[in-house]
A and B are shown apart, each in its own frame.
Chain A
Amino acid sequence: MNQPVNPALALPDANGLFGQFGGRFVAETLMPLILSLQEEYESAKQDADFQRELAYFQSDYVGRPSPLYFAERLTEHFGGAKIYLKREELNHTGAHKINNCIGQVLLAKRMGKKRIIAETGAGMHGVATATVAARFGLECVIYMGSTDIERQQPNVFRMKLLGAEVIPVTSGTGTLKDAMNEALRDWVTNIDDTFYIIGTVAGPHPYPAMVRDFQAVIGHETRRQMEEKEGRLPDSLIACIGGGSNAMGLFHPFLSDESVHMVGVEAGGKGVATGQHAASLNGGAPGVLHGNRTFLLQDEDGQIIDAHSISAGLDYPGIGPEHAWLHEQGRVEYVSATDDEALEAFQICCREEGIIPALETAHALAEVAKRAPTLPKDHLMVVNLSGRGDKDMMSVAHYLGDKFQ
């Protein structure tokens, strides 16, 4: 486990591959768009004006840098590792999602696109997308599974307030994967004026690399902040994983640092053994979906199986291809936390730190609960507090039932 990765590999390669994972598995209609997006992204990366504009919006609009907060009470509670929280939930719109949306909307503007589309699960990416679309005066359409619309009403209302049209997706099971199918269908139909802001490190090349690069600000800041506070690198990094963008953003700048242990936490739902989970690496197999080869929840015949998680944001049957590669390389340890474990950690964080985390983030905290007590007090652990939990109030009340009365 946790072998360092050679930074000289500079993955993905020209075909968007991380080893065997990733690629560009899309319909021919989309190929010219994806190739031109890649060109545009490559040129923007080299463009000082673009980078300046991105830095401006990250600081003055998003509110970066986000604090690296020493969670003294959580540390005491678990009685082991020294726990730091990377406070991504303090960003504008309440999650890490906006780091990526700001980057992509600037690209959309650069490409002269007038219309933004996105898929969303928990609604955090939808809200972040609707937010940047409003800021730049662009038309915005958000695809959201009908099941998710029911369990994330506050975010649906937020998106509408921000001027976005929220289209309920009833095909399939009405969750994140179906919303992504529908967004791809929209994109292929409205090729000329539409920019698709994918919310995670998945999809066809260049999305996994591009979203990672926009989210890597999390890891770069963490590195600097930890240096200031402790004068050294952290010992471990922990983040939850649906598609895996907050984890990739935290991990990527540390991949070649041998001493930094990284742990990605998948949604174990009712338990990986029950089949009702969203743990693609721990309970899936390699396959091709939504433009990339990665680990997928699927049956013997290659049909995609619905994911299950208490958190809508992790309820996706795949995972970013770079995570699949890091899993195969043994660079990052991938574990899972069940619904119950996440709920328990959610409540501990509320009570000990006065921070209500998103249910997604609570999965990372559940791993902290397992791991921190076993580690020495000088072990520096960073947890990506990827989002805040206001949106989850109704779900949590429902799950906690009587205990909450």
Chain B
Amino acid sequence: MSQANSTVGTKRIERCFAALKSQNRPALVSFLTAGDPDPETSQRLLDGLPEAGVDIIELGMPFSDPMADGPAIQKAALRALAAGQTQAKTLAMVKRFRETNRDTPIVLMGYYNPIYRYGVERFLKDAADAGVDGLIVVDIPPEHDDELCTPAARYGIDFIRLATPTTDAKRLPRVLESASGFIYYVSVAGVTGVGAPTPEKLERAVAELKQHTSLPVGVGFGIRTPEQAATIGCFSDAVVVGSALVERIEHAKTPDEAVAGVHGLAKELAQSVRRCREAVTVEGE
């Protein structure tokens, strides 16, 4: 069990949401794939996210067969793997990030096989040592909690569960049962970065979720613009942007351009979520 890098008492994710609640604004959660487009640029991208205004960082562990991802994130994983990314290198990136940042939560996101192959206990120990705060593992439903979710708790690592448009009233308690950190609401039935959620439906879904859990509820999949982030941030505790950021890397001609593109969009998104509830309040008055 490792307490390294974790402040005794509350956990980073919990502290982050508590602080944002007092500021009455949602969290901006960014997603990037570790090692994309190359290890060095990826580290620069990661290290600059907090300054750009990102509150919680999701870092993708690249996998050769990302079944739940759309084209943008599939390509990011392949770029990272082609540049030699491994699980060990991803953990090392987090460790290096923690040398200068002790506060911004990092959630590793990916698929089970690379973790399974690394060895579950060894992975959890190394992740806790590196300063990882949470895990999102797409292909482990609550039916397989004993694989990773339950062991993660022993290392103080949150296991963030996805709720989706197909999660009905019968299914929801099962999903919430072992969840920690926050609940990630998947806004559209589909893969990442494809399809746009309708805000009205989303607002109802988030309100429904909040009746059943005291955990913060974040929304992701298909959120691309500062405007969308602001709309959804009005009624959710966090907005997750992934594919739109990742595409800035895909379209960049140089590493510098990738870094500028990603941090530039992150800044716009951050400004947008910081203002979104003010705007509503003003209009309401």
Taken together as a complex, chains A and B put the C-alpha atoms of A33 and B167 apart, in Å, by: 10
Q: Which chain B positions have C-beta within 8 A of A172?
A: 64-65
Chain B residues within 8 Å of chain A by Cβ, number: 42
Q: How large is the interface on A (under 10, 10 to 19, 20 to 34, 35 or more residues)?
A: 35 or more
Is B117 a contact partner of A185 (Cβ separation < 8 A)?
no
Instruction: Please judge, given known A-B contacts A32-B166, A188-B190, A188-B191, whether A302 and B144 are in contact too, CB under 8 Å.
Output: no
Instruction: Please judge, given known A-B contacts A27-B162, A189-B194, whether A296 and B113 are in contact too, CB under 8 Å.
Output: yes
Is A184 a contact partner of B116 (Cβ separation < 8 A)?
no
A111 within 8 A of B: no
Q: Identify which of A245-253, A283-291, A382-390 touches chain B.
A: A283-291
Taken together as a complex, chains A and B put the C-alpha atoms of A177 and B66 apart, in Å, by: 11
Is B113 a contact partner of A304 (Cβ separation < 8 A)?
yes
Instruction: Please judge, given known A-B contacts A27-B138, A28-B186, A29-B165, whether A298 and B117 are in contact too, CB under 8 Å.
Output: yes
Is B116 a contact partner of A28 (Cβ separation < 8 A)?
no
Q: Which chain B positions have C-beta within 8 A of A29?
A: 162, 164-166, 186, 189-190
Q: Scan A114-146; emit 1 where CB is below 8 A from any B CB, else 0.
A: 000000000000000000000000000000000
Is B112 a contact partner of A288 (Cβ separation < 8 A)?
yes
Taken together as a complex, chains A and B put the C-alpha atoms of A290 and B65 apart, in Å, by: 9
Taken together as a complex, chains A and B put the C-alpha atoms of A189 and B193 apart, in Å, by: 12
Cβ-closest chain A residue relative to B175 = A28
Taken together as a complex, chains A and B put the C-alpha atoms of A174 and B139 apart, in Å, by: 22
B67 within 8 A of A: yes
Is B167 a contact partner of A28 (Cβ separation < 8 A)?
yes
Q: Which chain A positions have C-beta within 8 A of B164?
A: 27-29
Is B114 a contact partner of A302 (Cβ separation < 8 A)?
yes
Q: Scan B185-207; emit 1 where CB is below 8 A from any A CB, else 0.
A: 01001110011000000000000
Is B141 a contact partner of A184 (Cβ separation < 8 A)?
no
The residue that B68 contacts in the complex, of A27, A33, A288, A300, with Cβ under 8 A, is: A27
Q: Which chain A positions have C-beta within 8 A of B175?
A: 28
Taken together as a complex, chains A and B put the C-alpha atoms of A301 and B90 apart, in Å, by: 12
Q: Which chain A positions have C-beta within 8 A of B113?
A: 287-289, 296, 298, 302, 304
Cβ-closest chain B residue relative to A23 = B144
Q: How far is the CB of B221 from chain A (nearest CB, A)?
A: 10
Q: Which chain A positions have C-beta within 8 A of B167?
A: 28, 32
A394 within 8 A of B: no
* Most chain B CB atoms below 10 A, which of A172, A188, A293: A188
Is B194 a contact partner of A26 (Cβ separation < 8 A)?
no
* Most chain B CB atoms below 10 A, which of A28, A296, A300: A28
Is A15 a contact partner of B67 (Cβ separation < 8 A)?
no
Instruction: Please judge, given known A-B contacts A15-B143, A27-B139, A290-B67, whether A32 and B171 are in contact too, CB under 8 Å.
Output: yes
Q: Scan B175-190; emit 1 where CB is below 8 A from any A CB, else 0.
A: 1000000000010011
Task: Name A's B-contacting residues (CB within 8 A).
Answer: 15, 23-33, 171-172, 177-178, 181, 184-185, 188-189, 191, 285-291, 293, 296, 298, 300-304
> Could you list some 28 contacts between A and B, CB below 8 A?
A23-B143, A24-B141, A24-B143, A25-B112, A25-B141, A26-B141, A27-B139, A28-B141, A28-B162, A28-B163, A28-B186, A29-B162, A32-B167, A171-B74, A172-B65, A181-B67, A185-B68, A185-B190, A189-B190, A189-B194, A191-B166, A288-B112, A288-B116, A289-B65, A290-B65, A301-B114, A302-B116, A302-B117
